[in-house]
Structure 1
């Protein structure tokens, strides 16, 4: 029964991965860097599911020469997900050159080379290591299983750590560039990476504990279920995710890299002047009401460069662009909530917010109470 469940779940995971990758391939933007990276990840996830199907169906026992070949491709999951994160958070015009692929993929490639001697081992040992069949009688099975686990963790956890670091920098950057962050922070991807991290750690622990013994079907079923879930979720969210940067809006190059203001010593008097000009424009023209307001757009309206405006906001006013604009929006919204019977959500949209959740969070942050608390009692 448990083996049947494993087969069903693993087959479903492989099917979902292939279907989502095919959907990406059918889109007009399939050649863009994010679509390509996501399609590769989904294909590798599908191969992982197929690997488990072949194992449980007895295919490796019938064709032992193929044992472990698909496992090698699992080392590509880490670089594929990192490539997707880099593509989504980077320059939309940057493609996948051989040099860029090599920079991202060389650790996984090195891991694959380290695995190659496994295929020179006797067939019985390879089956014992990979499927658990005869593991009790083979002294090499347990140690080699631990080597496989350690190698997989070293490669994949390194890539996940890099992906989390990139996402952290990305969130800070978009707060400096945009006044509304919906669909731009990739919070869904961060959550799924945490699920993948937990699943891979659990898989490593259970593999290490079971080293040298036959595989437990229910553990494989749990692993297949989790892999099916994250493959479906990444496919669903990835297909619906809109580009974060476009040449028509903002690009990451609007702001300099790390240490961005260290070499730009703007005089204090100039910062005060820009801050005053900014205050006058926001108060007099209510520019914050534009839900699409960006750093570049606001800089153009007050006649300064985006870099100088960002420097004034961060160093002189001590706020990100996102927080600065939303403070103005909250100020007007709170005043209107207390002075009228307009619908609170309508006010939120009119002052520039584009979602209820962002509005509620901003009011609590800048005004200390939820929006409804500012409405006078009847």
Structure 2
């Protein structure tokens, strides 16, 4: 019997697997009430980590001490395609559930049922899997190819979701990284099973699959601490209504001096957008922001917003500058700070801490949030909340953000 041992590769993969098992529950707890979409990531992370540990046991020879695991973990491959696809579909359309999700789990359910008699057989009485003509050996030999076909099918489905993550979507970059990780896993599986048929095959090439899984685990682990907002997707309409105070935000341009004609920047003197049309577009912009709160998307850009309104980039800049007296980023920050004030008024530190408020209204990090908030109110968010706490009479000690008013 081979003496079990861990080398550098198996030790490294084992550490990555334990990292995944450590991060997975933290992600789920961090998601709070909006844990449903993140649950897919947690499931992938957990299954990848368990599969990695299984490979480590097999490579190192320790699997002989836990033989009942043999032949069962391979079924996890039938879950990865549905988990990636359903998660990205949920991010693409938070309000929708799409066609019946239960159908995606049928291949795994059928595989588990077919394998159940063999898995329930005591390890010493099981027929061999790698040789012999029994049903379970044939199924086990066909399983990698069945799983690879399924992985390729879901890979194509992920590519078809790409148009839903266009410019301005808050999860666009995250969706691209996820798709790349998934396809890396598919290619690693495909190349391994193809190369395994060749005479010059080396068993160490099996590490390619584990490297692909490790890359995903590292990506999630890093983002969980560096950019956790990617795991806080845009809430569904019903959830927004429950979580967000009812407030209508409107940005108003500074009032001109009495008797003075409205200022018109020189660069827009020859614009094809008449003043009355610009006023109407400003009204549409305000209404769109009030209804859909697009400013909550950290990656929202001028081009994407202009396309949504059916305007050119130049004309939207004109509307913002002429009608609202702000540039694009000033406008977004004004709306974000206004909602942040309402959230700080409506929630306690225990319900939402400062960074959670920042992410909820569309800021990427605490530094830019503090800077924009203090510039608008003269206070940091912590000072703002503290004054609210000290103000037991409930009177406002300071006005709303300049240029913002309740509708």
Aligned residue for 1:324?
A: 311
Aligned residue for 2:205?
A: 219
Q: Separation in 1 of the partners of 2:103 and 2:22?
A: 29
Aligned residue for 1:59?
A: 62
Aligned residue for 2:165?
A: 171
Structure 2 CA distance for partners of 1:23 and 1:249, relative to 1, 3 Å: closer
The reply on whether 1:41 has 2:35 as its aligned counterpart is no
- Cα contact 1:14–1:45 (8 A) shared by 2: yes
Give me the CA root mean square deviation. 4.7
Aligned residue for 1:20?
A: 23
The reply on whether 1:106 has 2:96 as its aligned counterpart is no
Aligned pair partner of 2:150 in 136, 146, 155: 155
Give matches, 1:117-156, under 5 Å.
125-126=128-129, 129=130, 147-156=142-151
Structure 2 CA distance for partners of 1:32 and 1:195, relative to 1, 3 Å: closer
The reply on whether 1:349 has 2:323 as its aligned counterpart is no
Give matches, 1:1-378, under 5 Å.
4-27=7-30, 29=32, 32-92=35-95, 100-113=100-113, 125-126=128-129, 129=130, 147-168=142-163, 170-171=164-165, 181=168, 183-185=170-172, 187-211=173-197, 216-237=202-223, 239-241=228-230, 242-247=232-237, 283-284=278-279, 287=282, 293-294=288-289, 296=291, 320-321=307-308, 324=311, 326-330=313-317, 347-350=327-330
Q: Separation in 2 of the partners of 1:195 and 1:113?
A: 29
Measured after TM superposition, the shift of residue 199 of structure 1 is 3.1
Structure 2 CA distance for partners of 1:281 and 1:203, relative to 1, 3 Å: farther
1:29 is paired with a residue of what secondary structure?
Answer: helix
Q: Separation in 2 of the partners of 1:91 and 1:182?
A: 12
Residues paired across the two proteins, number? 277
Measured after TM superposition, the shift of residue 228 of structure 1 is 1.0
- Cα contact 1:92–1:246 (8 A) shared by 2: yes
Q: Separation in 2 of the partners of 1:214 and 1:63?
A: 31
Segments of 5+ residues of structure 1 without an aligned counterpart are 130-134, 176-180, 252-277, 299-318, 336-345, 356-378
Aligned residue for 1:267?
A: none
TM-score (norm 1): 0.57
- Cα contact 1:21–1:42 (8 A) shared by 2: yes
Structure 2 CA distance for partners of 1:166 and 1:33, relative to 1, 3 Å: farther
Aligned residue for 2:251?
A: none
Q: Separation in 2 of the partners of 1:236 and 1:35?
A: 15
Looking at secondary structure, tell me which structure has more helix per residue. 1
- Cα contact 2:278–2:319 (8 A) shared by 1: no
Measured after TM superposition, the shift of residue 67 of structure 1 is 1.0
Pair member with larger Rg: 2
Structure 2 CA distance for partners of 1:101 and 1:192, relative to 1, 3 Å: closer
1:43 is paired with a residue of what secondary structure?
Answer: helix
Measured after TM superposition, the shift of residue 44 of structure 1 is 1.0
Q: Separation in 1 of the partners of 2:142 and 2:85?
A: 24
Segments of 5+ residues of structure 2 without an aligned counterpart are 242-272, 294-305, 334-361, 364-407
TM-score (norm 2): 0.53
Structure 2 CA distance for partners of 1:125 and 1:27, relative to 1, 3 Å: same
